[in-house]
Amino acid sequence: MPVGDNLARLDPGQFMPYARPVAGRIPAVAGVLTEAEIRATGETIAAAQEESGAIGWPDGQVDAWNHVECAMALSVCGLAGPARRAYEWLLATQRADGSWPRRIAPGGAVNEAAGESNHAAYVAVGVWHEYLATGDTDFVARMWPAVRRAIEYAVGLQAPRGEIIWQRDSGGAPARYALLAGCASMCQSLRCAVALADLAGEPQPDWELAAGRLAHAVACHPEAFADKSRFSMDWYYPVLGGAVRGPDAAAWLSAGWPDFVVPGLGVRCVRDEPWVTGAETCELVLALDAIGDTRRALEMFAEVQFLRDPDGAYWTGWQFANRKHFPNERSSYTSAAIILAADTLSAATGANGLFRATATDAAAAPDPVRCGCQISLGSSG
């Protein structure tokens, strides 16, 4: 059945708490960034894009997760051509098993052949985001087979307890552990994939079950994950990915706030280093917005603007003990996080609520306080 034939029966609100997809304006956050300034930031991402469509780190290395994040930001800025070229790159470089190499060098050489489950799964977030922003069902039809293979790759690494192992090595052997931030992100990826499957007329109930099991593991079983609790991503990603919501989400963020938030500067990348980063700060902005804490979300978004360069690009981070940019680079993924946070705060495009939905249906969402598990809120354990 053609993708477009399902539009009449699909209600995106079943998966996302907002309206049907519509083309929108470029975001602007009053008193912080104008539309022209956001557009300028998007153009710095486009300027870093390779002819192949790849969008890499400052050193040119490309991974699928950050590449997708940049494609989403380009679309938000109205840079449709570069955004679509980014998605074509994903189609051209996906492997037969549904994964992408962990690192691809400029020009296309594979530097690290292992495939990460989170990298593969995140393509579903990008494709669903593009649909919500544009309503383009032809695009979904073109991308759907790649999404299906990518999600099957990720779900194929799910352990009996619910967590998803973080990678397969170059020989196809799975790693021995899961990562909390990656699994929390995949909660969102699976939710978007379920929505895309319905839109494509190929419902995937097994993915819905996998999403529920994964969200339960993220919210209730810290012992399932390698201890990376010094990293701020392990703190806020269970909220950002939708596994933890409501009062429990507020408690989760409050527990880690003193360790990771530097007043007036942003979010530390790791709790034991005097180093704040723009991407982590904007992801926390998205998490705060998702639980209705708009005031602090806006405050943090305004605070991080000291990392902005005059041309619209953003420095990756700031070492506040030495008062120097660290690393000494401007990164497209940081600029992308700025743009996506601006869209969420200004409700500019049809995709602005992407990060507000829960990873599973609200009635079935795991409750870390009442599920009978012993956890420490805000820590990966």
Q: Which amino acid is at 169?
A: D
- Is 296:20 a contact under the CB 8 Å cutoff? no
Rounded Cα distance between 378 and 234, Å, is: 8
Tokens of 252: 């989760």
pLDDT tens for 231-265 read 999 999 999 999 999 999 999 999 999 999 999 99
Q: Give residue 357's pLDDT.
A: 75
Rounded Cα distance between 62 and 56, Å, is: 4
Q: What is the largest CA-CA distance in the chain?
A: 59
Place of tokens 């956050």: 29
Rounded Cα distance between 304 and 298, Å, is: 10
Rounded Cα distance between 6 and 133, Å, is: 18
Tokens of 209: 């079950």
Alpha helices (runs of H) in the chain, residue ranges in sequence order: 35-47, 64-76, 80-93, 117-134, 137-155, 180-199, 205-220, 232-240, 247-260, 278-290, 294-303, 332-346
Rounded Cα distance between 281 and 257, Å, is: 12
Distance of CA 361 to the CA centre of its chain: 19
Rounded Cα distance between 244 and 239, Å, is: 5
Q: Give residue 2's pLDDT.
A: 38
Distance of CA 39 to the CA centre of its chain: 21
Q: Which amino acid is at 87?
A: Y
Q: Which amino acid is at 250?
A: A
pTM: 0.91
- Is 267:235 a contact under the CB 8 Å cutoff? no
User: Which residues are registered as beta bridge partners of 271?
Assistant: none
- Is 7:140 a contact under the CB 8 Å cutoff? no
Q: Is the peptide bond before 258 cis (omega within 30 degrees of 0)?
A: no
Tokens of 340: 């996506």
- Is 135:127 a contact under the CB 8 Å cutoff? no
Please name which of 217, 80, 75, 96 lies closest in space to residue 145, comparing C-alpha atoms.
Answer: 96
Over the chain (381 residues), the average pLDDT of each successive run of 10 is 36 37 80 98 98 97 98 97 98 98 96 98 98 97 98 98 98 98 98 97 98 97 98 98 95 98 98 98 98 97 98 98 98 98 97 81 35 35 29
